[in-house]
Amino acid sequence: MSKTGPHMASKRDFKAFLSCLVILLSVILVFKQVSTFEFLNFDDNVYVTENPVVMSGLSVESVRWSFASTLGGHWHPLSWLSLMLDVSLFGPDPSAMHLVNLGFHAINAVLLFFLVNHVTGHLSVALISALLFAMHPLRMESVAWVSQRKDLLSLNLGLLTALLYLGSQGKRSYVLYRCSLVAFLLALLAKPTMITMPVLLVLFEVALCLSRGHDLGRLITVPHHRNKIPYLLIALAVACLAVASQSAGGGLRSFEDFSVLHRLEIVFTGYVTYLGKVFWPFQSSVFYPIVTLPSGLAFGSLLCLCILTVVFWNVRARYPELVLSWLWFLVALLPVIGFVMIGAQAVADRWTQLSHIGPLVGLTHLCMRTLPRLRLLPLCCVPIFAVLTFYGLGAWKTSESLFSKAVQLNPNNFLAHTNLGAAQLAPEQLKSRVHHFEEAVRLNPTYPEALNNLGMVRAQEGRFFEAKGYFEKALALNPNLAAARSNLIQVDVDLRAQSEGAREYQY
């Protein structure tokens, strides 16, 4: 036994190395095209191109700004520092920043492989799960959009948190435990939505016990979970900071805007939507506006969630993968599911980074280990996802291509019309530009950016009084919109010049 032990360990290590190599090469092959992509006119201007602090690179002052800033209603200092480091190393180069995103995504897939392999003990399950996660079309948004560095960085540190925690419990190592706490804090500094990790750690422990045939009794005792208290305290502190930042930045929607009943409708339909996207990742868009839901849809979604919960719970003894993946999915989505409303989007593909891990891993394990007749199903899905992602990424190359697709999918998408018009700068596109700005204002008369953009077009046409009205409306809705304030000052100058020219003509 002693002779074969090292040999078997060496063989497992070699297989793990090959698996990591397959994951890395697959991610590079599918996503390498992002190196040719441009910055987008949606958030990338706020995060990079029009942000003087980020464009100045890393410095003592920029570090201070990162921890103090609530720009855009978000508090994520580590993400700011990551973008600043890019600028310091490569300059404001969209190619380099996209490649850094690609690198983080590849590392995340490898970390997930090690995590699943550690928990399940099945290398094949870990490999296919990591590939399904990495190739899934809903990963496009976070990789192809520089501003979403925070999603990739947060997930990176979140997976590292779990790996270090599980390692500390197996080896009884306080060093690994403390490193896990540091990684968790950094994950929250990258993006606060990782606050559900303390609960997810419990699910990891349950899965680990089941895979190794250990008794689950100790997991239901309070003393066993005392080591989660520091994680909970860190999560609570960062959650309070995040909510305060959103409130200060105007991103937090009040209950006057959206009632409790309306929020619950969004929650129930959101869960079903995100679940559907695991299996049907088609027709994805950069922005999904909040719409009035058809009568009965929310109730039907709630009924569907209840039925699935009851079914998975009743088969937990035979198929524990199902209930664990279901609980992961429900818990991981809590910060972004919509009860605490932030922004104007109903759902977002990037918010599935953490939540989709549960269903993808659980179903892969179910098919490959528990239901061997279906073991080829997850393997067949890998190339399908890869092809969909490879060809779907093309839409993210420019702002115009991205928002053209969004308008095509949903002609009532006010933000897509706004940004598409802003991307059409060629003189021959003026008519189309005006059309999209007018559509944006018609669809959402309270969207300040759309009002400001339409005002600029009217000013260019010499319709200064009309332009002034749009700028004033935009500022009434958002007094901090600097572009509208600057445009209002300019249009007042133009009106005075026009008035003086008319008086001179009369004389």
pLDDT reported for residue 2: 44
Could you tell me if 53 and 197 lie in one domain? yes
CA distance 162 to 168: 10
pLDDT reported for residue 172: 79
Of all residues in the chain, the percent with pLDDT exceeding 90 is: 71
Residue 4 lies in a domain: no
What residues does 288 pair with on adjacent strands?
A: 347
* Residue 301: φ, ψ to 5°: -65, -45
List the end-to-end C-alpha distance of the chain, in Å, as a whole number: 109
pLDDT reported for residue 132: 98
Could you tell me if 405 and 372 lie in one domain? no
Residue 269 lies in a domain: yes
**Among 337, 371, 396, which residue terminates a domain?**
396
**Residue 1: is its pLDDT beyond 50?**
no
Query: Can you give the residue range of the structural domain that contains 151?
Result: 19-396
Rg (C-alpha) for the chain, rounded Å, is 25
- Condensed to tens digits (0 to 9), the pLDDT of residues 36-72 reads 999 999 999 999 999 999 999 999 999 999 999 888 7
Residue 177 lies in a domain: yes
Residue 13 lies in a domain: no
Number of domains the chain contains: 2
| Contact yes or no for 321/378 (Cβ under 8 A) | no
Q: Report, as an integer, the average pLDDT of 169-192.
A: 92
CA distance 429 to 431: 6
Residue 1 lies in a domain: no
- Condensed to tens digits (0 to 9), the pLDDT of residues 248-271 reads 655 566 666 677 888 888 899 999
> Which tokens is 154 given?
């947060």
- Condensed to tens digits (0 to 9), the pLDDT of residues 118-171 reads 999 899 999 999 999 999 999 999 999 999 999 999 999 999 999 999 999 877
Residue 3 lies in a domain: no
Could you tell me if 223 and 123 lie in one domain? yes
pLDDT averaged over every residue in the chain: 90
Q: How many residues make up the chain in this entry?
A: 507
**Residue 354: is its pLDDT beyond 70?**
yes
